[in-house]
Amino acid sequence: MKEISCKLLVIGAGPGGYVCAIRAGQLGIDTVIVEAGRPGGTCLNVGCIPSKALIHAAEEFEKVSHMAGGKSPLGISLAPPSLDLAKTVAWKDAIISRLTSGVAGLLKKAKVKTVQGWATFRDGKTVAVETETGTQVIRAETVVIATGSAPVELPFLPFGGPVISSTEALALSAVPGKLAVVGGGYIGLELGIAFAKLGAEVTVVEALPRVLAQYDAELTRPVVKRLAELGIEVLTGAKAKGLASEGQAGKGQAGKGDALLVETSDGKNARVAADKILVTVGRKPLTEGFGLEQIDLDRAGKFIRIDDQCRTSMRGIFAIGDVTGEPMLAHRAMAQGEMVAEIVAGHKRSWDKRSIPAICFTDPELVTAGLSPEEAKALGGEIKIGLFPFAANGRAMTKLGEEGFVRVVARADNHLVLGIQAVGQGVSELSAAFGLALEMGARLEDIAGTIHAHPTQGEGFQEAALKALGHALHV
């Protein structure tokens, strides 16, 4: 094949990679992007988008199930519903297809050349791509590594048979009768809750003392309450030990009598019956198989070390997204990708992650942006905290969403907002306001003095700021 030369080469067409390439193309930079799979990466194909589709389907099914059971306080009654999960998955796949086609179209519009295949570094400026038609060599002035991440596999619970990752969970053709979820983080609980609503008996096994340990206990309390209401059994302080088939521990394939072996918090051994065992114990950066040993980049643990401009230890090589560490969020990768493209174009840019919102699409949803109360206190100095419950919010009541609150954390001396958190129905849509407030350096008075539309859940944000100032109006 004829060798390709370009100014910018992007390896990986996930959210960070494709945004970087599109922005570079818009800026007139000769750009090539390499991707082994479909455009969109994990997020679009087997992560963010398909999981939210499944979560939405589960929410709708639970609603009509309550109506059929005469449990709806709205006075609506229906015949008992049924679910065709294969049809649900087909609907989800159609959304993914539309979006991946859209990404491919945007790359083409920005005049970005796409090479389909697996890229391997030969040196800091040269990459060989194994394509369907042979090896394509690409030379670039600047390279961006955006290879993403993959689910962590436990050595005693290897993927296969009844043991699945989130990828397989999002492609099941039928709802498992019994589902064991190993890992009580956001991925495990998002999917565990969805399958519980679809009719599965769900057990969550978490080694730490509580689920969603990355969030403070006050914020997660409504989620824990909801888990119990959904009939989800939660085993905290418990360790998964392996797969047992017909009474024996082992790594066999799915079969009658399969169970997850668990060491409970009191040190006893137990068996959790399961048709499927979903392992969600984290994600690891995809750094192997790309020939990174040829360029010997500095690492930060498992991740590629970067500075505030996403530069690596080698001149002319940037890294963005999950491969660079936490927070492993698609919108972080997108922001980094856009920034790197502008740096390559000669613009002055730098990276600051303080105002990145993080969302957990459990029921109810969780949103955090900036510092938690504990993190703010650790900085020293006094802080003010304002918390407004949705039980006092009219719009939340009309949506049967009284559970939860909005909380604002600010400095006591100058009222600078340091962090904002919320838990409740649909609070993911408040994340933009939270991020904007932190990005703009808002103070409590700015939020309290902004007229918020009534009736909306967003009023809880204003009321939380008023509460921190000592004069909430509706609580």
**Which residue numbers are catalytic?**
454
Could you tell me which residues come within 8 angstroms of residue 404 by beta carbon, excluding any fewer than 6 positions away? 222, 364, 389, 390, 396, 422, 423, 424, 425, 427
Which residues partner with 202 through β-bridges?
179
What DSSP assignment string belongs to 198-233? TT-EEEEEESSSSSSTTS-HHHHHHHHHHHHHTT-E
Give the Cα-Cα-Cα angle 210, 214, 218 (nearest 5 degrees). Answer: 65
- Residue 35: strand, helix, or coil: strand
Q: Which two structure tokens, joined as six digits, stand for 218?
A: 């006050």
H or E stretch covering 124: none
Pairing of strands 233-236, 201-206: parallel
| Torsional class of 164: left (φ above 0), alpha (ψ -120 to 50), beta (otherwise) | beta
Long-range contacts of 77-85 (CB under 8 A, 24+ apart): 83/175, 83/198, 83/199, 85/172, 85/173, 85/174, 85/175, 85/198
Pairing of strands 31-35, 259-263: unpaired
In this structure, are residues 337 and 318 in contact, taking their beta carbons and an 8 Å threshold?
no
Sign of the C-alpha dihedral computed for residues 214, 217, 222 and 223 taken in this order: positive
Count Cβ atoms below 10 Å from residue 171 Cβ, excluding itself.
14
- Residue 287: strand, helix, or coil: coil
Count Cβ atoms below 10 Å from residue 350 Cβ, excluding itself.
10
Separation CA 451–CA 468 (nearest Å):
17
Amino acid at 414: N
